[in-house]
Structure 1
Amino acid sequence: MAATVGDEVLSRLREWGVEQVFGYPGDGINGIVTAFGRADDRPRFIQSRHEEMSAFQAVGYAKFSGRAGVCLATSGPGAIHLLNGLYDAKLDHVPVVAIVGQTERSAMGGAYQQEVDLQQLYSDVASDYLVEVNVAQQLPNAIDRAFRTALSRRAPTAVIIPGDVQEERYTPPAHAFKQVPSSPPGLAAPTAVPPEAEIARAAEVLNSGSKAAILVGQGARGAAAEVEDAAAVMGAGVAKALLGKDVLSDDLPFVTGAIGLLGTRPSYELMRDCDTLLIVGSNFPYSQFLPEFGRARAVQIDIDGSLIGMRYPTEVNLVGDAAATLRALLPRLAGPTDRAWRERIEDNVAAWWRTMEQQAMLDADPVNPMRVVWELSERLPEDAVVTADSGSAANWYARFLRVRGRVRGSLSGTLASMGCAVPYAIGAKFAQPDRPAIAITGDGAMQMNGLAELMTISRYADRWADPRCVVCVLHNNDLNQVTWELRAMGGAPRFDESQRLPDVSYADLARGMGVEGIAVRSPDELGPAWERALSADRPVLIDAICDPEVPPIPPHATLEQAKSILEAVLKGDEGGLHLVAQGLRTKLQEFLPGRRR
């Protein structure tokens, strides 16, 4: 039988080293689905419960493998469902290739079933590369450009293939006028280094101060050793943007942890008091957590020149690979002779971790959510992959998870989409099947889409060399982060009709889907629950019943936030008094003896 365009799609994916495609079937991609059958499921078709989850799984795979993730959806509603996950890839700069079906060419423009203008629909999310394949000869170049663009620009791309084209006999492009052949698949990552003169200018700026700070993002992940060396020479502390949380170990005494609303007080103070700033691979957007304009001289390193110099008035912008640029810069750096600044940073970091433990151990009703993540951190395997959802779960992940060893972690950093943690963990398991994956999610996100994906975990667990995939649900029957925002930003009491969630047993539901379930109703059960889950030979869900009134107080709580909380209480917020009591007890831990030098 002659090869079809659908057959050639899979053949080209195999040439690009694609081992799995995350998708959901539909008649708009029948020509590709039947090709999977003829190809003996190579690459493997990984069936989610919803196309949005397929896109998130592709994003998770890309984040934890360093390769392009691939997702597949049918025409019309399937293509629409992919959008949220693809926007997550776009905003977090992750390479994902989406392959979507379309109505047959003969029906286009005729208001046919499932006919959606995908070119217009995808024009923003796949703005770096979007193509519709209308003849077989287009295919190899279209697939290859989608991969090369996704990898080089760290962005989602999309290839639209009408249903009738998928089933046509494949004819390769000729070396002829108006035909575009393609070279063999493959793309080597560039190692760009800025000009020597710019390196010298950057060193002059960084050597001018005595209180140095470094901010790293996910773009510094391949430059961890160089960042550590630069911090040692400069006597600097290192703060981490949320997507760069796993760049450096939290066991390093000069690493101040996360920065921003979800960050730590040492990171806040590092930025507040520094006089020189080096930003490496980060596009952290919240300038109120950076030094005051004019207080610090700054240098930025990023591979993407379009994202440089956006957040702070940096004097020197070095466009280049983070590791190679730092290696060129290091011989020119000279740190201060007085190490008092570095010692102060290290004292604050050590004290802050003691504060975190004290906060995590505070009593709550029934379980303190901070302790859930603290107890995990105490037992975290050094090769674990951790995903976190949006909402209050992201706060506890950012502050209480202590990264060490080869631990990797991520979340929907820029889009902040609910419901990413579980599909991210599934993508991580296909990216790193020999490592344990742990998803930390709230009950709102779990009800939104996580529950259905437990079936996906159960279905594919036997394909993973290490079957450990742990889902931890912070179960408080409240859309907790929004409740906090209503109180702290708007002075409004909790509105039950929008905030209250149905109370269900996630442990029982997990068991019904083939995943082991553990219910935790007291803080003393947390440690044993994590030990049981992390030593299991199968996927496990931990259903941790948490106090909804433990507030995610930012590192620099403002008077306006305190006034808003008080207003909410005075307006009759049912849980407001308990929230205030928990908040005061939590914040008090920062000022107890031993917190500071």
Structure 2
Amino acid sequence: MAERIVADLVVERLRAWRVPRVFGCPGAAIAPLVGALDDAGGDPAFVPARHEETASYMATGHAKFTGGVGVCLATQGPSAVHLLNGLYDAKLDSKPVVAIIGEDVTGPLGGAHEEIGLSRLFGDVCNQFVRYGRSPEQVPTLLDQAFRTAAATRSPTCVVLPRALQVTAVPDLLPQTAGVVTATPGEPLARVLPHDADLDAAASLLGNGRRVAMLVGQGAHGAAEEIVALADRLGAGVATSLLGKPVLDERLPFHTGVLGEVGTTAAAQLMGSCDTLLMIGTNDPWTDWFPMPGQVRTIQIDIDGRRIGTRYPVDVPLVGDAAETLRALLTRVPENPHREWRGMVEKMVDRWRETAAERAAAPAEPVNPQLVLRELSARLPRHAGVAVDVGSVIYWYARHLELPPGVRAQLCGTLGSTGCALPYAVAAKLARPDEPVLALLGDGAMQLNGLAELITVAHHWTRWRDPRLIVLVLNNRDQSGVGGGRTPGGRRSDVPYAGWARLLGLHGVRVDRPDLVGPAWDEVLAADRPAVLEAVVDPAVPLDAPEPALADLRGLVTDGDAARRVRERVIQTEAIAADEVV
């Protein structure tokens, strides 16, 4: 029987925490752990990525799509540096990830790798927990602490294991650590509810509101039923943050869509016309599209009290789980639906939907990218996973892809780093191989990470019960930046993306005519293997960010006579908005 070493002990702790797979790139300093994973019989599995950055994206994508703890590994030096992007994604979007770093300092002092101190390197991104393993006896507790901290703080943590420690024999007298009972990361570890007095104050404020708006973020996941019930009770309109887009059925008649630069005019109008704002599980940074401070009374619900009031002034803070807090409010808020306001909101939504349809149908050279997402919207499979990259594709996703209940969608929402979508999609597909997954990205993201990670897809797909992993590449050949359009020197080298897929044994379709977009979606959705849909689109299609709500009133003094004048302008603006949507 082979001698039990610390690397085997690490695998045992990963198994105890029910980690299904570990993402990473092999290297000398982490080789013993990779060898132990290879001997583990797939429990947990080791998934080699083409690059450490995509491994960290996969770990974060696993956390985002499953609610579990993502795990990635790398070696010291540049390999560890490459993990930072995905770990910052996890930190800023509040997802639990554990990074395990191998270190080998047995060579000459002052070696190149030693110049990158791992404690300093990970000290910010994993500021909740960075620890070194020093002895076999420490390792089980060290890993348990890393997982518990990641789950409790919804953030990445880091464990550094020297190579010499990984190959150290485990003492026979080392006590067996008890099995771990895990909570679901990303959810509260205990029942958290606001104080009754705060709930009463929030209910009173909502009950007195005549034009209530609700802004829903990713923290409201699992609370859709309560949100709709409260919105109906108050006759409220609803908007979402970009990360909150999958929370609610977007076909609801009072759902105005995503708020912010990538969002809809209906959502901006909702914020510009409301007098009461309920923020649920959102830390949306696009505050230019919020109501003017002083225009509304505001309640904010968040499980993390540190986030309340950081983006916008709050009258009543409610620290608690979204669903639990909303259920408590529903018992306190009187039935007071404001039908005139709800009617106005629904007209805003109808008008926006007409505008969106017109924009998608507008001629372009050769294909309008908005049309590509709109054609997918009618075909999107139920219970699909959708991974979205950074770039103009976010605008088209936010405005034109309606997400029905059951569809999971994730993106690098706060960090905004390009190249995440295909690694996310791989993680989502490995977690649920019997459900379709789509990755939506531009040609820049495809060249950055996608071309390489398509090799990973080609390696795994034959073991998937549902082989559909569909990669949409919006090929606009433009590298001048989002919304840059055609500028001198702004052309990106073209790549045969669909041809590359076919070279790897996958399916590939290239579309450069608008009448073929719908049939192309039908083809890739019916394919018997993963597919790349390359749509050659027009880079000159304008992004058309909505006008910020009451932007012209920002910065005015809001005391005395100035406050009265501002209130009068708000009333006038609301009246104009009401006339426009009637």
TM-score where L is the length of structure 1 = 0.89
- The answer on whether the counterparts of 1:352 and 1:595 sit within 8 Å (CA) in structure 2 is no
Instruction: Return the alpha-carbon distance in structure 2 between the equivalents of residues 357 and 299 of structure 1.
Output: 34
C-alpha displacement of 1:174 = 6.5
Task: Pick closer, same or farther for the CA change 1:16–1:173 going to 2, 3 Å.
Answer: farther
Q: Which moved more, 1:509-518 or 1:360-369?
A: 509-518
Task: Pick closer, same or farther for the CA change 1:273–1:219 going to 2, 3 Å.
Answer: same
Task: Pick closer, same or farther for the CA change 1:287–1:173 going to 2, 3 Å.
Answer: farther
1:295 is aligned to 2:316: no
C-alpha displacement of 1:187 = 2.9
Q: How big is each residue's C-alpha offset from its partner over 1:270-294, in whole Å with a ceiling of 9 and x where there is no partner? A: 0111000100000011221111100
Query: 2:420 is matched by which residue type in structure 1?
Result: C
Q: Which moved more, 1:207-216 or 1:330-339?
A: 330-339
In structure 2, the residue matched to 1:579 is none
- The answer on whether the counterparts of 2:219 and 2:322 sit within 8 Å (CA) in structure 1 is yes
* DSSP 3-state at the match of 1:455: helix
Task: Pick closer, same or farther for the CA change 1:337–1:482 going to 2, 3 Å.
Answer: closer
Instruction: Return the alpha-carbon distance in structure 2 between the equivalents of residues 537 and 214 of structure 1.
Output: 42
* DSSP 3-state at the match of 2:19: coil
* DSSP 3-state at the match of 2:343: helix
Instruction: Return the alpha-carbon distance in structure 1 between the equivalents of residues 470 and 179 of structure 2.
Output: 42
- The answer on whether the counterparts of 2:192 and 2:321 sit within 8 Å (CA) in structure 1 is yes
- The answer on whether the counterparts of 2:24 and 2:48 sit within 8 Å (CA) in structure 1 is yes
Query: 1:350 is matched by which residue type in structure 2?
Result: D
Instruction: Return the alpha-carbon distance in structure 2 between the equivalents of residues 111 and 534 of structure 1.
Output: 54
**Structure 2: runs of 5+ lacking an equivalent:** 552-578
Q: How big is each residue's C-alpha offset from its partner over 1:77-123, in whole Å with a ceiling of 9 and x where there is no partner? A: 2111111111111111111111111124x458x11353331011000
1:383 is aligned to 2:383: yes
In structure 2, the residue matched to 1:114 is 113
* DSSP 3-state at the match of 2:395: helix
Q: Which moved more, 1:281-290 or 1:35-44?
A: 35-44
- The answer on whether the counterparts of 2:268 and 2:549 sit within 8 Å (CA) in structure 1 is no
- The answer on whether the counterparts of 1:433 and 1:464 sit within 8 Å (CA) in structure 2 is yes
Once the two structures are superposed, the pairs formed by residues 337-352 of structure 1 within 5 Å of their partners are 338-352=338-352
* DSSP 3-state at the match of 1:230: helix
- The answer on whether the counterparts of 1:428 and 1:437 sit within 8 Å (CA) in structure 2 is yes
In structure 2, the residue matched to 1:490 is none
- The answer on whether the counterparts of 1:21 and 1:71 sit within 8 Å (CA) in structure 2 is yes
- The answer on whether the counterparts of 1:210 and 1:335 sit within 8 Å (CA) in structure 2 is no
C-alpha displacement of 1:173 = 8.9
In structure 1, the residue matched to 2:535 is 544
Query: 2:155 is matched by which residue type in structure 1?
Result: A
* DSSP 3-state at the match of 1:114: helix
In structure 2, the residue matched to 1:528 is 519
In structure 1, the residue matched to 2:183 is 187
Query: 2:217 is matched by which residue type in structure 1?
Result: G
- The answer on whether the counterparts of 2:292 and 2:549 sit within 8 Å (CA) in structure 1 is no
In structure 2, the residue matched to 1:82 is 83
In structure 2, the residue matched to 1:578 is none
1:517 is aligned to 2:516: no
- The answer on whether the counterparts of 1:455 and 1:514 sit within 8 Å (CA) in structure 2 is no
In structure 1, the residue matched to 2:63 is 62
Q: How big is each residue's C-alpha offset from its partner over 1:222-263, in whole Å with a ceiling of 9 and x where there is no partner? A: 211111111111111110100111000111111111000000
Once the two structures are superposed, the pairs formed by residues 120-139 of structure 1 within 5 Å of their partners are 120-139=120-139
Instruction: Return the alpha-carbon distance in structure 2 between the equivalents of residues 310 and 557 of structure 1.
Output: 19
Query: 2:30 is matched by which residue type in structure 1?
Result: I
Task: Pick closer, same or farther for the CA change 1:324–1:540 going to 2, 3 Å.
Answer: same
State how many pairs are aligned. Answer: 549
Task: Pick closer, same or farther for the CA change 1:173–1:331 going to 2, 3 Å.
Answer: farther
Instruction: Return the alpha-carbon distance in structure 2 between the equivalents of residues 225 and 149 of structure 1.
Output: 30
C-alpha displacement of 1:559 = 14
* DSSP 3-state at the match of 1:207: helix
In structure 2, the residue matched to 1:22 is 23
Once the two structures are superposed, the pairs formed by residues 240-319 of structure 1 within 5 Å of their partners are 240-319=240-319
Q: How big is each residue's C-alpha offset from its partner over 1:120-166, in whole Å with a ceiling of 9 and x where there is no partner? A: 10000100111111111111111111111111111111111011111
Query: 1:187 is matched by which residue type in structure 2?
Result: A
- The answer on whether the counterparts of 1:144 and 1:185 sit within 8 Å (CA) in structure 2 is no
- The answer on whether the counterparts of 1:351 and 1:595 sit within 8 Å (CA) in structure 2 is no
Instruction: Return the alpha-carbon distance in structure 2 between the equivalents of residues 443 and 530 of structure 1.
Output: 18
* DSSP 3-state at the match of 1:514: coil
**Structure 1: runs of 5+ lacking an equivalent:** 488-492, 561-593
Query: 2:533 is matched by which residue type in structure 1?
Result: I
Task: Pick closer, same or farther for the CA change 1:449–1:336 going to 2, 3 Å.
Answer: same
Task: Pick closer, same or farther for the CA change 1:337–1:384 going to 2, 3 Å.
Answer: closer
In structure 2, the residue matched to 1:590 is none
C-alpha displacement of 1:355 = 1.8
Q: How big is each residue's C-alpha offset from its partner over 1:479-515, in whole Å with a ceiling of 9 and x where there is no partner? A: 264453xx8xxxxx8341xx32101211111111222
Q: Percent identity?
A: 46
Task: Pick closer, same or farther for the CA change 1:412–1:219 going to 2, 3 Å.
Answer: same
Instruction: Return the alpha-carbon distance in structure 1 between the equivalents of residues 210 and 39 of structure 2.
Output: 65
Instruction: Return the alpha-carbon distance in structure 2 between the equivalents of residues 343 and 350 of structure 1.
Output: 10
Q: Which moved more, 1:293-302 or 1:35-44?
A: 35-44
Q: How big is each residue's C-alpha offset from its partner over 1:292-334, in whole Å with a ceiling of 9 and x where there is no partner? A: 1001000000001111111111111111111111111111112
Once the two structures are superposed, the pairs formed by residues 390-469 of structure 1 within 5 Å of their partners are 390-469=390-469
C-alpha displacement of 1:464 = 2.2
- The answer on whether the counterparts of 1:354 and 1:595 sit within 8 Å (CA) in structure 2 is no
Query: 1:111 is matched by which residue type in structure 2?
Result: G
Instruction: Return the alpha-carbon distance in structure 2 between the equivalents of residues 411 and 172 of structure 1.
Output: 46
- The answer on whether the counterparts of 2:511 and 2:534 sit within 8 Å (CA) in structure 1 is yes
TM-score where L is the length of structure 2 = 0.91
- The answer on whether the counterparts of 2:38 and 2:46 sit within 8 Å (CA) in structure 1 is no
Instruction: Return the alpha-carbon distance in structure 2 between the equivalents of residues 315 and 405 of structure 1.
Output: 32
Instruction: Return the alpha-carbon distance in structure 1 between the equivalents of residues 488 and 87 of structure 2.
Output: 32
Task: Pick closer, same or farther for the CA change 1:184–1:558 going to 2, 3 Å.
Answer: closer
Q: What value does the CA root-mean-square deviation take over the aligned residues?
A: 2.1
- The answer on whether the counterparts of 2:440 and 2:471 sit within 8 Å (CA) in structure 1 is yes
